[in-house]
Amino acid sequence: MDPIVNSDRVLAGFLAVRDFLATYITTEANLLQLPAIFVTLMGAWLAGRLVDPWLRRIAHNTAVDEFQEEFYVQNIVPLSLPALWAAALWISTVVAQQFGWPNHVVSIAVDLAAAWLLIRIASALIPNATIASIVAVAAWTIAALNVLGLLGPSILLLQRISFALGSARIDLLTVVEAIVTLAVLLWAASIGGRFAERRLAGVANLTPTAKVLFGKLAKLVLITLAFLLALGTAGIDLTALAVFTGAVGVGVGFGLQRTVSNLFAGIVLLLDKSIKPGDILEVGGTFGWVAALGARYVEVETRDGTQFLIPNEDIITQQVFNWTHQNDNVRLKIRVRVAYDVDVRKALSLMRQAAGRPARVLKTPAPNPLVVGFGENGLDLELRFWVADVRNGVHNVSSEVFLEILDLFREHDIHVPLPQRYLHVQSLPAGLPVAEETPPAQLRVPRA
């Protein structure tokens, strides 16, 4: 039986690696250049620490606002380290060439430092920090392989590694090209989608729901085109993905029912114009205005700064109060109780006068006080008035009207009744025997 590990092959591989390191890596000329690389790196780090406060002051003085200053501090100031290191390495190569010293390792380090600097500058222009980091790592890896002369062998290795997808044979290089192309196209699609949304926001003839709908459709179309172009650029036949798309469809049907339901419910909300950004909604006790219409949820922001993400399906299936569906005018009602012995007509006049004092109460339609019923302890009155800025709250304006009514009632001796109870005491005729209360039976505990 052959052994699992062939010791001769392991030894031969180890000796081959040792010979390669001794011939190309750990030579005397290469080892003599390593101190220059580390010394210049430490010198650049110390110089960067010294110039960092000076660069921050320059960023503070030249920035037009705090956002630009933050961009300078987070993206431009850290470039001092690779810039100083690349400059120091270049000076080292010039000195080595003047004295005839070996400098090919230092030249490679110069190229890597320059690539680091250029990639950091390019990645600073990407607003998303995660995408910027991924792009920077990928670009620097490609640059490092190119500088070291390993880019060609790496490409050949990726071409040799392949797998079957349906009837097609796809190598790993094609997958990498497709991923890179897809990332670039998705980034371009996101930029194009945001540009389309900004242009649509400036069109005065479109309703708010139409602007959101067309913006979402533009993003969806651009993302779909990005996927198709990425697959086509990589040379992948779309028919080879039939099995994969079928599996995805089954997964969507069984595991993503609520997600797909919310997605189509969002499209229905945008088409039927039942809600739009800025509407005042009350859903399940949540009162606020629509801050955004998403693909899966409606973002409702309350007056205390809390954001509620309500699924689109709940907006369609549950009872929703839209205070500003047709117009922004809303009628509010407050109830007041007065005593039976007061002048009711005077009380109604005072309530109408109180409703006219707060600035938010509309003069047209005029406030309307009414008698709505005979209560247990007094007359029930109701004041109805209109406001046009529900976004600013309804309870606060109702409180203002209540305070005005209270002040006017006190000024004109209009009393608000307190709960009353009448107690009738009847004495018994003389000589009528009174039943004696039977004392409760005592609980006897038997002795052990």
The confidence score (pLDDT) of residue 431 equals 62
Q: What is the pTM of this model?
A: 0.43
Tell me whether residue 3 is in a domain. no
- Domain assignment present for residue 357? The answer is yes
Any domain includes 437: no
Based on the domain organization, do 105 and 228 belong to the same domain? no
Q: Is the pLDDT of residue 403 over 90?
A: yes
Check whether residue 13 and residue 113 sit in a common domain. yes
Cα distance between residue 119 and residue 132, in whole Å: 10
Residues 94 and 144 in one domain: yes
Q: pLDDT of 225-267, one tens digit each?
A: 887 777 776 666 666 566 556 666 666 666 667 777 777 787 7
Least confident stretch, 13-22, 264-273, 312-321, 401-410: 13-22
pLDDT tens, residue by residue, 366-378: 899 999 988 888 8
Q: What is the pLDDT of residues 28-82, one digit of tens each?
A: 666 777 788 888 888 888 988 888 889 888 888 888 778 778 878 887 888 888 8
- On whether residue 101 sits in a domain, the answer given is yes
* 297 shares a domain with 181: no
Across the chain, mean pLDDT equals 77
- Tell me if 244 is assigned to some domain: yes
| Model pLDDT, residue 313 | 83
- CATH number for the domain spanning 287: value is 2.30.30.60
Examine the domain organization and report whether 245 and 341 are in the same domain.
no
Would you place residue 441 in the very low, low, confident or very high pLDDT band (cuts 50, 70, 90)? very low
pLDDT tens digits along 297-307: 888 888 777 88
Task: Give domain status of residue 264, yes or no.
Answer: no
More confident residue, 259 or 349: 349
For residue 418, is it within any domain?
no
Regarding whether 131 and 22 lie in a shared domain, the answer is: yes
The pLDDT, as a whole number, for residue 235 is 63
What is the count of structural domains for the chain?
A: 4
Same domain, 279 and 336: no
What is the pLDDT at residue 377? Answer: 81
Domain harbouring 395, CATH code: 3.30.70.100
Bigger pLDDT: 360 or 234?
A: 360
* Structural domain of 359: 330-411
138 and 28 share a domain? yes
Check whether residue 40 and residue 100 sit in a common domain: yes
Q: What angle do CA 256, 260, 266 make, to 5 degrees?
A: 150
Please tell me which residue, 246 or 93, carries the higher pLDDT value. 93
- At residue 10 the predicted structure's pLDDT band, cuts being 50, 70 and 90, is low
337 and 318 fall within a common domain: no
pLDDT at position 447 is 47
**pLDDT > 80? residue 161:** no
